Amino acid sequence: MQQIKTSFDFEKPIADLVQQIEKVKQVAEKTKVDMSATLDELDGKLDETTNNLYKNLTGWNKVQMSRHADRPQTLDYINMICDDFIEMHGDRTVKDDKAIIGGFASINGQTVMVIGHQKGKNTKERQFRNFGMANPEGYRKALRLMRLAEKFNKPVVSFIDTMGAYPGLEAEERGQGEAIARNLLEMSILRVPIICIVIGEGASGGALGIGIGDKVYMLEHTWYSVISPESCSSILWRSWDFKEKAAECLKLTSDDMFGNKLIDGIIPEPLGGAHQDPELMGRTLKDYLIKDLAALGKLKTDKLIEQRIDKFCAMGVVNE
């Protein structure tokens, strides 16, 4: 079993067992006493504890996992999955929004348009990328690229990872709500296959703005909701102290979303999360994309659009 790198309080039982194993190894090396039986017992306990812990994560635990600093982001997946990538810039109106990246790429020999949020890995990058929170021009750039993909009959792959659309005054002045709403409309009738994958955080309209697709997946330890647990807690309880309770009430995990038929599937992550083995996560993601691109490519355009619209219209319950 691979060594799990622990980062969160809920992973403390794993860290404690790893520490015990290291101490036993040191004692065995120092005293030359055979401690193999004790080590085998501790290793077994570590395996059991690790598997049980990650199978029973709470909603808040998954929110924490989705925000891990080492978690792969859109550019990481593009580098792992695509044979080449030509980034394209600008919305042809205001500027180039660095929070959303996109361009043509090749996956297993097939050309696709890849679009996704990019948060950044360090403080300088995060400021440059605006923490993955797009302005209206970011969504208009995404729509421009999707229309370009439609023009050349190339499928679209969307990676979702954002805390939400940028809520600043200037974003509202330039039509943030209209830009997202326009994307929802245009993506619903786009005449090429669309595959959307939540790779980290999927918050509010910021995620939905590039989240309408024929196939919508979530990685195992991600979340997708109209609002973050912290914001929900601050609205309902006037404090962030109830964020864990809010996370449970929002039903935002991949299991909750799949159970409510709001996504098409859950993509499993390596034990301990995508950040433990990014290359394995990349290979898994690539396998899913290759399979779905082949299947969706066989559908006639009108049927593709009809199924996409029907899927989203069937979501939710309306009481008249």
In this structure, is residue 103 part of a structural domain?
A: yes
Element holding 66 (H helix, E strand): helix 59-66
pLDDT tens digit string along 31-73?
888 888 988 899 899 999 999 999 999 999 999 999 999 999 9
Residues 43 and 81 in one domain: no
Residues 138 and 25 in one domain: no
Number of domains in the chain: 2
In this structure, is residue 227 part of a structural domain?
A: yes
Domain of 219, in residue numbers: 63-314
Q: What is the value of pTM for the model shown?
A: 0.93
Residues 17 and 144 in one domain: no
Residues 140 and 21 in one domain: no
Residues 94 and 124 in one domain: yes
In this structure, is residue 2 part of a structural domain?
A: no
In this structure, is residue 1 part of a structural domain?
A: no
Residues 40 and 95 in one domain: no
Give the tokens for residue 110: 């097939």
Q: What angle do CA 239, 240, 246 make, to 5 degrees?
A: 105
Residues 218 and 85 in one domain: yes
pLDDT surpasses 80 at 160 = yes
Q: Are 162 and 117 in contact (CB under 8 A)?
A: yes
Strand 110-117 relative to strand 100-107, pairing: antiparallel
Residues 52 and 87 in one domain: no
Beta bridge partners, 265, equal: 217
C-alpha neighbours within 13 Å on the C-beta side of residue 51 = 7
pLDDT tens digit string along 216-243?
999 999 999 999 999 999 999 999 999 9
At residue 199, the 3 state secondary structure works out as strand
Give the tokens for residue 78: 């593009």
